[in-house]
Each structure stands twice: as C-alpha cells, then as structure tokens.
Amino acid sequence: MNRALSNSEDDPVLFMKPDTSLLSGDKKDFYIPDFSADIHYEAEVVVKICKMGKNIAERFAHRYYEEISLGIDFTARDIQSELKKKGLPWEIAKAFDNSAAVGQFVPKDKWGKPMDDLNFSLSIDGRIVQSANTTEMIHPIDKIIAYASRFFTLKTGDLIFTGTPAGVGKVQIGNHLSGEIEGEKLLEISIC
C-alpha cells in the first residue's frame, strides 16, 4: 500500500504501509493499540490503482484509478515524535496493524465533478473535525501518482492516501468517526 503525504511545495513525501495496516469492510472497529497513549486521526481522500504502472506521466495519471474513497491514517503521535527527535524512520508510528482505515469505494466520476474539486470531511461523534476540498491540496492527486510511480511500480489494488487537511487530533475509546465525500457517507469507525 502506497501513501503520499502532501506537505511541501516541492515533491510529495512518500511512505509505505503494509497490507496488515488495512482496516476495511462495512462497519469497522479500531482498537487503540497498547503501545501508544496518543493515537491521532488524519482523514484523506484515497484512490485505488486500477492497472499496473511505472513512470506514469502526470497527464496520464487519471487513467490509473477509477475509484475513490475516504480513509483515515491513524498515527501513534507519541511514538512518531520520539522517533523524529532521534532522526529515525517512523514507520512503526504509521504502519502498525489496522492503521489505514478505508471506507466504501465509489466511481471517481460519481458526482460529475473533477477530482481536484471534491469536498470531504470527517466527523467525530457528530461534530465536524476536518473539512476540506481537494483544490486545497498542495499536490494534486495526479501529481502524487506520477511521483510515486517513479520509485515504485504501482499495482492493481494499491491504495494511495493523498494528504491530510488541518484538524487532526486524538481519538478516544467510545468515539464514533464518520467520513464523507460530497456529503455522501463512505466511512464509519468506532474506536474501541
């Protein structure tokens, strides 16, 4: 599973999550792991790669995905902070089991709008905590796909998380998370 975080004006930052990090299905329960006291949510638009590609030109990247969803990149923020201070890689803070929650996939053209103009949001217990539009992304989805494909062969079924808007925060046992794209609920998670 590939994941791109758009956080600079240069190239996207990339990191990988193993398939064991995937949390999917109709109704999901996310269990806070015992190794962290500070798990944060980060809602993101997710694209599903539909055919193999390497060195994909940005102008053709739209041909490599047909479905999108909303996902949550769960992060062990306490572990990530410690590893960053030491200048170490922080995969264990991002790529642990079930740390990549993904909602229901829908056709990317479902709303008749371009991918660079979709509204998405995340609510916790009915209160919106993240709300953004893909126009606000530092790097467009097609650029992220093109950039990632320079380093990794993208395969059918790979998922790319495309970057997090402002509003990330800590989850607690008993929280109910709900994610939408263009007002359509695609993701529901209970925190256990």
pLDDT tens per residue across span 136-170: 988 999 999 999 999 999 999 999 999 888 899 99
* The pLDDT value given to residue 9: 58
* The pLDDT value given to residue 30: 96
d(CA 26, CA 62): 27
pLDDT tens per residue across span 113-143: 888 899 999 999 999 999 999 999 889 999 9
d(CA 148, CA 152): 6
Answering whether pTM is above 0.85, one says yes
In 74-169, where does DSSP find H-type helix?
77-85, 91-94, 141-151
* The pLDDT value given to residue 10: 82
pLDDT at 4 over 50: no
CATH homologous superfamily for 26-191? Fumarylacetoacetase-like, C-terminal domain (3.90.850.10)
